[in-house]
Chain A
Amino acid sequence: MKVLLADDNQDRAEAVFRDLTAAGIDRIVRLAPGKRLIEAVKAELPDVVIVDMSRPDRDSLEAIREVSAKDPLPIVMFVDRDDAAFMEEAIAAGVSSYNLVGSALPDVKPIAQAAVAIFRRYQKMADDLREAEDRLNERVIIQRAKALLMQQRKMAEPQAHKWLRQSAMNSGKRMVDVAAALLEAAEKRS
């Protein structure tokens, strides 16, 4: 079993590589950054291809056989295209796995599953980071709105906080949205 791994995220590719190696897959080829996916498929003729879905050159794997009748290549198919739940999970995790016809599905599926699990873990890390950044941004916006209230309406800090919270509750909005609207209105006036 030969696996081609196309992922420019070196950290994540390393994690998939380790997992597959531990599972006994000894022929894993990693696509070097900047290298073309289709060239590697032609040169390596892997059984399975694991592709980061953010790669634009994934399109080159679609119906490659038909694009050039002169250059016959194995038919490329999604691993488990009929297992909708698994495919949805893979898409949500941002990874797609191809089976180059000739390899038996039972051997291929665990490889795809291992890749999905790792991509999902990395996605969660990225989501957590984004959420933390958003929360930080939200705090900054609320602070600025409070400063504005303190300056313009001569409120003390706890009062400004209470005012924002009350407005949010009354209007069924989040505090940060009330704060942002307040800042925007002030900007328009100035």
Chain B
Amino acid sequence: MTRDNAKRPVVRIGMLRLSDAAPIVAAKEYGFFAQRGLDVRISVEPSWANIADKLSYRQLDAAVTLPPLVFAVTLGLRGVGIPLIVPMQLSLNGLAVGVGKGVADELGMEGTPLEIGRRLADLLPPRRPRLRFAIAHAFSTHNLYLRHYLAAAGIDPDRDVELMVVPPADTVRAMQDGEIDGYCLGPPWADVATRIGVGRTIAPSSEIWRNHPEKCLAVRRDWAEANPAVLDDLLVAALRGARFCDDAANADGIAAILARDDYLAVERDTIRASLPGGGPGHSVFFAGAANFPWVSHAAWFLNRMARWGYLGQDVDRAALAAGVYRPDLFRAAAAKIGLSVPVVDAKIEGAHDAPWTLAGDRGGIPMDADLFCDGQPFDPTE
């Protein structure tokens, strides 16, 4: 079905072999894109560098990606860069911090993740050589959440441990070969590590920041401005995909699709564990305004990037957050399916230790807790 008379462009969306790309894969495979008259081509890339390069040189129009990388590409912090926007968040939670069996046995697994983290401090310099943790990319949520967790446990992530970039699919082998001692991994790779028995989760990322933003949909700003109607349809279809993926009843079917060789090429049951209805800390795709691109999330990422020295203090973070994150575009798409959306663009993050209700334009939105592990809320206006 074609919605316009004019020929619509093929939409090229990049993703990595990760189960939290599910909303986009589902929108493609279950026909939500086609229903909106969209011809979407999904390109499964081997690295975040490929995603960033192909966006920068206009060989992709959009990608399932990491918010810190979106800012790095927009600012040209790696390669030449190109302005990107985030009109939609795709998932919450889903990462896991884990360590090898030996370290886990020494630590003991009792207590909260933060208590385990504090005991980890006893296994570090000057008593021991630095433990090496794998992250997916310098500009990744993995890096920022792991740093937040370590710092909350009194560990200096730059001095006390070594953070290394290791491709997720390679982490199991690196653990087996003793090249690394732990990791912060995305789904389904933490589940792969636990199932094979090379790693034990000490902190699901949902325990570092409850219901934290994980993957987002990034779109080239020039493409979005040239194709506003296509983008609107894309968001509506992706939102349908996200809602579909959040229903645990659909998880078996989605896991089977993601397991295919042209997507993740990972065993279905392992993928299933990282989807709704699966293991602890699994991805959330729709509930609790999961898809709303909170400007306060953007502000938190930029604040942390500056805190850890990835961003100069001279960058106008408030202007960048409001320019890249686009709740206005999300609201327009959400209205088409009658979804109640938040009436504000930003909120204080980490202020709720229990479920609460957020004001929405079509009625209250049930929200879950959003505490940080260190208990410190984040006020985006500060």
A-to-B contact residues, CB < 8 Å: 36, 38, 53-64, 66-71, 78, 81-82, 84, 87-88, 91-92, 96
Contacts and interface: CB of A to CB of B under 8 A. Distances in A.
B310 A87 contact: no
Nearest to B77: A63
Contacts, number: 91
B309 A64 contact: no
B59 to A, nearest CB: 6
Given A68-B158, A70-B159, A62 B78 contact: yes
Contacts of A66: 138, 309-310
Interface stretch (B50-58, B321-329, B360-368): B50-58
Interface in B126-142: 135-139
B48 A88 contact: no
Given A81-B80, A88-B59, A64 B49 contact: no
18 contacts: A57-B166, A58-B47, A59-B48, A59-B165, A61-B49, A62-B49, A63-B78, A63-B138, A63-B310, A64-B138, A66-B138, A67-B163, A68-B158, A68-B164, A69-B158, A70-B159, A87-B80, A88-B59
A81 to B, nearest CB: 4
Interface in B24-57: 46-50, 52-54, 57
Contact of A62 (B54, B138, B159, B163): B138
A108 to B, nearest CB: 16
Contacts of B48: 59, 62
B340 to A, nearest CB: 38
A58 B78 CA distance: 13
B46 A62 contact: no
B169 interface: yes
B164 A91 contact: no
B164 A84 contact: no
Contacts of A92: 59
B92 to A, nearest CB: 23
B79 A56 contact: no
B139 A63 contact: yes
B167 interface: yes
B162 interface: yes
A78 B80 contact: yes
Contacts of B167: 56-57, 59-60
Contacts of B77: 63
Contacts of B309: 66, 69
B54 A71 contact: no
Given A87-B57, A91-B59, A62 B158 contact: no
Contacts of A62: 48-49, 52, 78, 137-139, 165
A78 B56 CA distance: 13
A96 B78 CA distance: 13
Contacts of B110: none
A70 B163 CA distance: 10
B78 A57 contact: no
B164 A60 contact: yes
Nearest to B52: A62
Contact of B169 (A36, A56, A60, A68): A56
B314 interface: no
Given A67-B165, A87-B53, 8 more contacts: A38-B165, A53-B49, A55-B46, A57-B170, A60-B167, A63-B77, A66-B309, A87-B80
